[in-house]
């Protein structure tokens, strides 16, 4: 039995009907009646390179099940789960467990990211090869939350993952330049008495790692770029032919350090919110291709982690269910098109992560696709499918709404409602 999505608008602007059968896209063309999708844009299912699902270890904030429900609600058909769990995803056993939890949840593909170093402490390499060869077939490695700051260890990690086409996703933060850092460095940090996180601490690591990637001929991905200077460094590295890719989060595209003024930890995130000029540079870089992908850095925290003094609060914010709306505002609102949108939120991420069957809406491919209503406007709510509500976008009106999410041919979201 097949499903036909009638009268969708494809990313290239053409109208078509899409037939799905046995989990695969079987035809795209003029196929006749089915589910009316007039006015909806059909895109390859979204892929998030940067999600914190918190399981195992921090189930009060999120679980693989609640996080993948949130992902599906946000239009995602695949998420890459960061390694900073407890225990850390630094061995084949943990990554296989996370993958298994994802399969059991069944809302999207949950692809584990492996730690670069044991316990994320930056001293010795984690079991990179075992994780790559495990059932989870890990290809992305990251100590996210921590920077792989030791240059020798970073060089070795880049070299090591090359043999299985892996990529190191670097959280670019020079630790000594950011000891105790609380917010963007500058006049506002001085006024608020909060320790500054200077742009150079991000940019220096990106420059170093770009050169190491060049020397080793390995793939480097930069997590959550935040500064105009970091954009310049990545642009320079790409022009030089270095295999570097870069990511930006929804919050760094739209929010600025001015939000920190009231000391409300809902705005506390690492790397920190930067200046208006930085957000403009990030938007421009997304439009010109210097930045490859949107990564949500979805970072759920239970209420008590945020209902405290700024300096005692945890870093991070949830993002899965408004990411696409922020991106629509930035890309479509910024003069880009839906093809670029699809690359940024899906196909490039799938390619960086070497995910099979994700990132393409084409005949013969697994039916992972998302249909959004670009004309809709909605007010973001703090209560979402996530277990946590640390959402600085709550109350903001943003464009676009996910109407259907289809994962391996099955609706995880249908008519805007998440499958039970």
Partner 1 sequence: MKHLISISDLTKAQAVKLLDDASELSSVNEREVKKLPALRGKTVVNLFFENSTRTRISFEVAAKRLSADVINFSAQTSSLSKGESLKDTAQTLEALGAHAIVVRHPYSGAAHALAHRGWISSSIINAGDGSHEHPTQALLDALTLRQAFGLNADLSGLNVLIVGDILHSRVARSNVLLLNLLGAKVTVAGPTTLMPNGIEKLGATISHNFDEALEQKPDAVMMLRVQKERMQGSFFPSEREYAKNWALSSERFRRLSSSTRILHPGPMNRGFEIASEAADSNQSLVLKQVANGVSVRMAVLYATLAGEEN
Q: Which residues bind partner 1 (CB under 8 A)?
A: 182, 185-196, 262-264, 304, 307-312
Structure tokens at 28: 């795209």
Distance CA 397, CA 378 (A): 5
Is there a contact between 322 and 392 (Cβ–Cβ < 8 Å)? no
- Give 91 or 390: the residue with its C-beta nearer to partner 1: 390
Closest approach of partner 1 to the CB of residue 176, in Å: 11
**C-beta of 97 vs 182, nearer to partner 1:** 182
Which distant-in-sequence residues (6+ apart) come within 8 Å of 379 by Cβ? 395, 396, 397
Residue pair 413/404 in contact (Cβ under 8 Å)? The answer is yes
Q: Compute the least distance from the CB of residue 266 to partner 1, in Å.
A: 11
Q: DSSP letter string over 223-245?
A: -S---HHHHHHHHHHHHTT--EE
CB of 200 to partner 1, least distance (A): 12
How many helices (H) and strands (E) the chain has is answered by 12, 19
- Which residue number, 192 or 287, has a Cβ lying nearer to partner 1? 192
Active-site residue set: 297
Which position has the token pair 């954009």? 231
Answer whether 327's CB lies under 8 Å from 294's CB: yes
Residue 195 vs 235, nearer CB to partner 1 = 195
Asked if residues 209 and 220 have their Cβ atoms less than 8 Å apart, the reply is yes
* Burial category of 420 from C-beta neighbours within 10 Å (exposed 0-12, middle 13-18, buried 19 and up): exposed
Q: How far apart are CA 390 and CA 130, in angstroms?
A: 35
Expressed in angstroms, the distance from the first to the final Cα of the chain is: 22
CA-to-CA distance for 303 and 289, rounded, in angstroms? 37
Taking the complex as a whole, the smallest distance from the CB of residue 262 to partner 1 amounts, in Å, to 7
DSSP state of 13: S
Minimal distance in Å, beta carbon 388 to partner 1? 18
Q: Rounded to 5 degrees, what angle do the CA atoms 360, 243, 322 make? A: 45
Nearer to partner 1 (CB atom), residue 105 or residue 189:
189
Looking at beta carbons only, is 174 or 214 nearer to partner 1? Answer: 174
- Minimal distance, residue 392 CB to partner 1, in Å: 15
Copy the structure tokens of residue 364.
């013969």
């Amino acid at each position: 039995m097949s499903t036909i999505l009638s009268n969708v608008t494809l990313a290239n602007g053409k109208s078509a009907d899409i037939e799905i059968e046995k989990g695969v896209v079987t035809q795209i063309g003029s196929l006749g009646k089915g589910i009316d999708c007039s006015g909806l844009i059909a895109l390859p299912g979204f892929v998030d390179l940067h999600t914190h699902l918190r399981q195992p270890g921090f189930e009060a904030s999120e679980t693989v099940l609640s996080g993948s429900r949130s992902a599906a609600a946000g239009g995602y058909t695949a998420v890459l789960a960061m390694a900073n769990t407890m225990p850390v995803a630094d061995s084949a056993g943990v990554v296989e467990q996370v993958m298994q939890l994802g399969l059991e949840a069944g809302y999207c593909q949950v692809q584990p990211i492996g730690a670069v170093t044991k316990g994320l402490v930056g001293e010795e390499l984690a079991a990179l090869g075992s994780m790559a060869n495990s059932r989870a077939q890990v290809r992305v490695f990251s100590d996210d939350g921590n920077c792989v700051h030791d240059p020798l260890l970073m060089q070795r990690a880049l070299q090591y993952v090359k043999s299985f086409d892996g990529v190191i996703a670097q959280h670019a933060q020079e630790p000594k330049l950011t000891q105790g850092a609380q917010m963007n460095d500058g006049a506002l940090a001085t006024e608020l008495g909060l320790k500054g996180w200077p742009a150079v601490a991000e940019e220096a690591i990106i420059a170093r790692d770009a050169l190491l990637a060049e020397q080793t001929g390995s793939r480097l991905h930069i997590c959550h770029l935040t500064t105009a200077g970091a954009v310049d460094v990545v642009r320079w590295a790409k022009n030089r032919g270095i295999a570097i890719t870069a990511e930006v989060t929804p919050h760094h595209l739209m929010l600025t350090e001015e939000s920190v003024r009231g000391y409300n930890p809902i705005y506390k995130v690492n790397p920190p919110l930067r200046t208006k000029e930085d957000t403009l540079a990030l938007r421009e870089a997304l439009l010109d291709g210097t930045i490859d992908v949107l990564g949500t850095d979805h970072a759920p925290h239970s209420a008590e982690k945020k209902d405290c003094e700024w300096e005692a609060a945890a870093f991070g914010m949830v993002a899965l269910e408004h990411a696409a709306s922020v991106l629509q505002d930035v890309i479509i609102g910024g003069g880009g098109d839906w093809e670029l949108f699809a690359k940024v939120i899906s196909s490039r991420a799938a390619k960086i992560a070497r995910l099979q069957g994700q990132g393409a809406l084409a005949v013969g491919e697994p039916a992972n696709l998302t249909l959004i209503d670009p004309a809709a406007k909605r007010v973001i709510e703090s209560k979402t499918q996530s277990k946590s509500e640390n959402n600085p976008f709550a109350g903001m009106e943003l464009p676009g709404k996910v109407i259907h999410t289809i994962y391996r041919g099955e609706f995880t979201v249908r008519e805007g409602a998440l499958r039970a």
